[in-house]
């Protein structure tokens, strides 16, 4: 099934050019409501149980190093599936295998019903790939980058030109379409890679850290674009180091570390299951104070952790933590209650040690 683009739906700055347009884009991007307007009511997400990517005991070895050590996952048609994990966890290695950019060392991997590694060309024809490194052509203009890429897919030139125009608008790059890529900022380059990956209307979009290095405005733009694509039925696979991104976009995700899956589920489910509903953050006076507070709250706490100099206590009923602290006269000078989030899950699962 070929999907056409949400024509002009994201290009809310028509008619304004140059820096003014950029300025308006920034203003608008600050208001997430505008992005929400992109919703296309007619085409609701076609979330079904149909797996489009199935991996069983998937492994990747580079010489002596085993980067992926037997992982299983199923990605369903129309969903957004996330891979989270610290640096070197094996996310890119996994995603490169399912994009047919890197051979599978061991295990089974099927993409769109075809075995990866055998049907590489037929799989790549239906996949949009955004690699971790920007690889847009610096010698060409933005428009030329898209048109050349369309040729690699043997698209007709009229169709390619029209689609390139739409996609440059979609990524709000149309005012720079004839600029040389080497003059672009990093964020624009990233948006161009995303636009390019959509040229052939892929059924599955695979993005390796799509928003790393983007400013908050551009990140909102990309999120809006990905959500719009998902609503039209595009399956999205992404890796990210931004927990907020995964929380907003991913229907389901896996947390990987050292090449194995630590946990899997929807963001909400993972938060409730692994850390609990709420987090109480406390800034104690000193180590002794910290010790005293932690001890006092213990009966009501599911899990505790330290983030910098803050003590974080997780619970499904934060009120009970307050009660314990009052009862034992251990109320801290500074504290805050907030909903627990995916970042808490991530740090709990993977620890606080730096990788690599």
Ligand X SMILES: Nc1ncnc2c1ncn2[C@@H]1O[C@H](COP(=O)(O)OP(=O)(O)OP(=O)(O)O)[C@@H](O)[C@H]1O
| Chain residues in the site for another protein (CB under 8 A) | 62, 99, 101-103, 120-122, 124-125, 129, 131, 133-140, 144, 148-149, 151-154, 180, 196-197
Nearer to ligand X, 105 or 132 (CB): 132
With CB cut-offs between 5 and 8 Å by kind, which of another protein, Mg ion, ligand X, none does residue 47 bind?
Answer: none
Is residue 171 part of the contact set for ligand X (CB under 6 A)?
A: no
Return the structure tokens found at 34: 């505008």
- C-alpha dihedral (49, 54, 55, 56), degrees to nearest 10: 70
Is residue 189 part of the contact set for ligand X (CB under 6 A)?
A: no
Hey, which bits of the chain come out as E strands?
Answer: 51-62, 65-76, 80-84, 106-111, 114-115, 127-130, 204-208, 235-240, 252-257, 260-265, 278-283, 303-307, 310-315, 334-339
Q: Which DSSP letter does residue 328 get?
A: T
Residues in the chain: 356
Quick note: the x/- pattern for ligand X over 52-91, rule CB under 6 A, is ----------x--x-x-----------------x-xxxxx
Paired with 228 in beta bridges are none
Output the smallest distance, CB 259 to another protein, in A: 16
Work out the number of other CB atoms within 10 angstroms of the CB of residue 321.
25
With CB cut-offs between 5 and 8 Å by kind, which of another protein, Mg ion, ligand X, none does residue 197 bind?
Answer: another protein
Residues at the site binding Mg ion, with contacts judged by CB under 5 A: 92, 132
- 126-155: contacts with ligand X (CB under 6 A): 132
Instruction: List Cα–Cα distances, 207 to 103, 238, 345, in angstroms.
Output: 18, 5, 22
Is residue 92 part of the contact set for ligand X (CB under 6 A)?
A: yes
Nearer to ligand X, 232 or 350 (CB): 350
Output the smallest distance, CB 208 to Mg ion, in A: 6
Output the smallest distance, CB 92 to ligand X, in A: 3
């Amino acid at each position: 099934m070929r999907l056409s683009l949400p024509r002009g739906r994201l290009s809310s700055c028509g008619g304004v050019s140059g820096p003014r347009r950029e300025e308006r884009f920034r203003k608008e991007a600050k208001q997430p409501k505008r992005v929400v307007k992109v919703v296309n009511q007619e085409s609701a997400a076609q979330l079904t149980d149909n797996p489009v990517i199935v991996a069983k005991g998937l492994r990747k070895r580079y010489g002596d190093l085993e980067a992926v050590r037997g992982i299983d996952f199923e990605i369903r048609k129309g969903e957004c599936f996330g891979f989270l994990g610290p640096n070197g966890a094996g996310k890119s290695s996994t995603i490169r295998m399912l994009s047919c950019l890197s051979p599978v060392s061991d295990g089974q991997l099927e993409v769109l019903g075809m075995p990866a590694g055998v049907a590489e060309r037929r799989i790549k024809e239906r996949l949009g790939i955004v690699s971790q490194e920007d690889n847009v052509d610096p010698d060409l203009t933005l428009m030329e980058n898209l048109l050349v890429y369309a040729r690699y897919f043997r698209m007709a030139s009229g169709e390619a030109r029209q689609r390139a125009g739409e996609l440059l608008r979609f990524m709000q790059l149309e005012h720079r379409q004839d600029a040389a890529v080497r003059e672009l900022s990093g964020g624009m380059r990233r948006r161009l890679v995303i636009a390019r990956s959509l040229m052939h209307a892929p059924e599955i979009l695979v993005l390796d850290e799509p928003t790393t290095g983007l400013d908050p405005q551009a990140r909102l733009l990309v999120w809006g674009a990905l959500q719009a694509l998902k609503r039209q039925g595009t399956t999205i696979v992404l890796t990210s180091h931004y927990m907020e991104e995964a929380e907003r976009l991913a229907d389901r995700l896996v947390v990987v570390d050292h090449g194995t899956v630590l946990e899997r589920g929807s963001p909400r489910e993972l938060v409730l299951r692994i850390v609990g509903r709420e987090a109480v953050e406390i800034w104690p006076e000193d180590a002794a104070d910290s010790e005293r507070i932690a001890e006092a709250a213990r009966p009501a706490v599911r899990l505790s952790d330290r983030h910098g100099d803050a003590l974080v206590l997780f619970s499904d009923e934060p009120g009970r933590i307050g009660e314990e602290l009052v009862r034992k006269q251990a109320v801290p000078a500074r504290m805050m209650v907030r909903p627990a989030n995916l970042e808490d899950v991530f740090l709990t699962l993977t620890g606080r040690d730096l990788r690599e």
